[in-house]
Amino acid sequence: TALNEATSELSTQRERFLRLRDDFKYNLRVLEERDKELERYDALAARAQTEESARREEVSELRIEIAKLQDDLENRRRVKEDIEVQYQRRGVEHRVKLEKVQSMMENEIQKLREENETLKWDLQREMRKREHEFHLNKELEVHAKAHSQATEASEGLYQQAQKEIKRRDWDLKNTTAMKDSRIKEFEDKLKQMESNYKKRASLQQHAELERRSREKEDALGLMREAHTRELQEISELQAQLDRMILEQERREKSYMDDFHQRDQQIQELRVQLEITRSGWDTYITQISKENVAKVTELLSAGEREAKVRAELERCKEDIERYKQQVSSGMQSEQALKQKRVQLELDWERRCEEVHSEHYLRSEELIQSLTQARDQVIDSSSFPSEEIRRLQQQNSTLRAVVAEMRKEMENLSQQMPIAQSQTINPEPSTAGTTDYSQTLEKEILELKAKCCDLEERLEESSKIVNTASITALAFPVSPDNAYLQNHIRLILVFAGGLQVEKVASAAALKKQEVRLAHLESACHSKHMENESLRLEMENHKRAAAAEEARLKQRVANVCPVFKSEMVKQLQEANLSLRQQLLLLQSSARGGAVGDVATLQSKLKQAAQLISSLSQDKKRQLIEMGNRLRAQLIEAGLEGYNSPCFVCFVLIHIGYSTH
């Protein structure tokens, strides 16, 4: 019965096992099919994603193209605005040029009017002169008529005077007629020029405005055509973009619907797959746990226990070894500390002894040296050669410094004089060159002395260093008295060398400071002399060039001015003589009273001429003084001679007529 039960149970278990195996195989096939379907769905999703990315790229490219087109439109709009601004600027420039031309023409017309006015004034002045002459002639005619009954000769003179008067009347009428005709001609020419200028300006302005308007209309037409073409292109592109966007949205909507359906199917399949996997995994794990858990737990526990015990023993041994090493290290450290403290105390004691001995020796040596110096000073009445030589050097350097100070004072006093006068700088330069040569020699001597002192210092420092090194390198026992005495002598010698080193270093520093001061003084002196020499040469050259130029201009202008003044005076004198002869010839046949009246008139004319000449002289003197003051203010003080003033008067256009 038990065997039957066992066999029946075994058969049932076997059937169950076979059924479970078949179910498992079926589930595996279903899982494989679902995996394949999922892979296919993944491939479709990847393909759809690639298509979506391609579409997005196309949309982004289209958006980029739209942005580029918008940028092109913006650039063209800016170009259009720039062109309009340029046209406006050109219009303003042409308007300004036209205004300038108009102002120039107005200035020319004003000049012509001024010339016309000057001509009118000249003609009026000439007319007044002629009228004055005519009045004089009338007076002469009256006098001639009054004296016509006295003599027959006066009648002939009267007839001649009448003929002359008629001739002058004719000349006066001719001149007035010529003047009127000239004035009319000038006025006609002026009116004609004004009308021509206005016509020409209006024609040019109209032509320019028409040309600009045509150019602007052509440019605006071209810009309108281009703008219309661009707007058509933009509208076409916008329509294409709208169509593509609608198509893209429709595709995205259909794709999203398909994608949601596939996601739902995939989620359902994944849920079923997870359920089957979890059931199978739980079954397998239960069987494996029941068969293997106990054996593995026992084996792992035994191995872990053995490992932990071995590790514990090894750690205990390491701890004991570390404790021994730490204790031995602490003992050695304490011993070393004690030795170090003892050595420091010994070395401090030795150093204090050496310092005290060295200090005593140095004090004794200093006292002996001071006593010896006092004895030498008391015994010797004259200084040694070295002291005398140093005193001579000191006196020479003091003399050099005093000479430098004097030369600097002289140069500072000569600076304002050198700015106004041109002095030959050769003696000063020669003196400065000699002085600079002497300074260079003294500097070379001081440099040699400095080098010698530095060598001596280096030798003394080497001796001291060797002595100190030997003293430190070989410790001496306190029982060896000979070596101790030798070391004391070496230390005394080293102290003396140190004293000499300090003194020589101080002297060297003094010599270096002195040398640097002399070099700087020499360099500054040389630079000042060079700058002064260059400045004086520049002033001299500029003054010579200015003087030669002004002399040449004055030499060219003075003869011309003198000749013009002489000609004017000669002409005035000749005209006065002619008038005097005419008056004398007309007055010869008159009475004594008439002669007196003529003489009084001549005196009045001479007084008038003298007053006019005095007025002219006064005006010339005032003008010369004013120009001289302007020249003094401008800095040309040496060029205020009369010839130069006359030259300036002629140059600025002053006329003495």
Arithmetic mean of pLDDT, 328-346 = 75
Residue 353 pLDDT exceeds 80? no
The reply to whether 423 and 566 lie within a common domain is no
Looking at residue 264, its pLDDT comes to 79
List the domain range (segments joined by +) for residue 561: 555-651
CB 205 within 8 A of CB 98: yes
Residue 62 pLDDT exceeds 80? yes
Q: Distance between CA 265 and CA 41 in Å, rounded? A: 10
> In this predicted model, what pLDDT tens digit does every residue of 620-651 receive, in sequence order?
677 667 766 666 665 544 444 444 444 444 44
Arithmetic mean of pLDDT, 99-121 = 81
User: Among residues 657, 605, 115, which one has the least CA distance to residue 123?
Assistant: 115
User: Among residues 503, 396, 407, 403, which one has the least CA distance to residue 445?
Assistant: 396
Helix axes 481-587, 385-420, angle to 10 degrees: 20
Q: Distance between CA 566 and CA 536 in Å, rounded? A: 43
Q: Domain end: 516, 547, 578, which one?
A: 547
The reply to whether 95 and 155 lie within a common domain is yes
Looking at residue 582, its pLDDT comes to 66
Residue 332 in any domain: the answer is no
Tally of domains within the chain:
3
Q: What is the mean pLDDT of the chain?
A: 69
Residue 175 pLDDT exceeds 60? yes
Q: Is 466 helix (H, G, I), strand (E, B) or coil?
A: helix
Residue 69 pLDDT exceeds 80? yes
CATH assignment of the domain containing 461: 1.10.287
Residue 603 in any domain: the answer is yes
Residue 656 in any domain: the answer is no
Pick 434 or 234 by higher pLDDT: 234
Q: What is the pTM of this model?
A: 0.20
Residue 329 in any domain: the answer is no
Written as six digits, the tokens of 46 are 């990847």
Residue 507 in any domain: the answer is yes
Arithmetic mean of pLDDT, 603-614 = 67
Residue 243 in any domain: the answer is yes
User: Among residues 596, 648, 595, which one has the least CA distance to residue 623?
Assistant: 648
The reply to whether 533 and 517 lie within a common domain is yes
The reply to whether 222 and 253 lie within a common domain is yes
Model confidence band, residue 421 (pLDDT cutoffs 50, 70, 90)? very low
63-72, 173-182, 388-397: range with lowest mean pLDDT: 388-397
The reply to whether 543 and 563 lie within a common domain is no
User: Among residues 467, 465, 466, 449, which one has the least CA distance to residue 504?
Assistant: 449
The reply to whether 139 and 273 lie within a common domain is yes
- The percent of residues in the chain predicted with pLDDT above 90, rounded, is 0
The reply to whether 237 and 121 lie within a common domain is yes
Most confident of 138-142, 385-389, 475-479, 605-609: 138-142
What is the chain's percent helix, strand, coil content, to nearest 5? 95, 0, 5
Arithmetic mean of pLDDT, 545-555 = 67
Looking at residue 642, its pLDDT comes to 46
Residue 467 pLDDT exceeds 60? no
The reply to whether 562 and 530 lie within a common domain is no
Backbone angles phi, psi at 641, to 5 degrees: -75, 165
The reply to whether 497 and 580 lie within a common domain is no
Q: Distance between CA 607 and CA 110 in Å, rounded? A: 39
Residue 345 in any domain: the answer is no
The reply to whether 497 and 644 lie within a common domain is no
Looking at residue 424, its pLDDT comes to 44
Residue 413 pLDDT exceeds 60? no
27-41, 227-241, 618-632: range with lowest mean pLDDT: 618-632
Q: Is 280 helix (H, G, I), strand (E, B) or coil?
A: helix
183-197, 283-297, 313-327, 435-449: range with lowest mean pLDDT: 435-449
Model confidence band, residue 545 (pLDDT cutoffs 50, 70, 90)? confident
Q: Domain end: 547, 569, 592, which one?
A: 547
Looking at residue 598, its pLDDT comes to 60
Q: Which residues contact 539 (CB under 8 A, 6 or more apart)?
A: 418, 419, 422
The reply to whether 96 and 27 lie within a common domain is yes
Amino acid (one-letter) located at 382:
F
Q: Distance between CA 94 and CA 527 in Å, rounded? A: 60
Arithmetic mean of pLDDT, 101-117 = 81
Residue 402 pLDDT exceeds 80? no
Pick 599 or 239 by higher pLDDT: 239
Residue 49 in any domain: the answer is yes
Residue 484 pLDDT exceeds 60? no
Q: Domain end: 528, 547, 566, which one?
A: 547
The reply to whether 426 and 510 lie within a common domain is yes
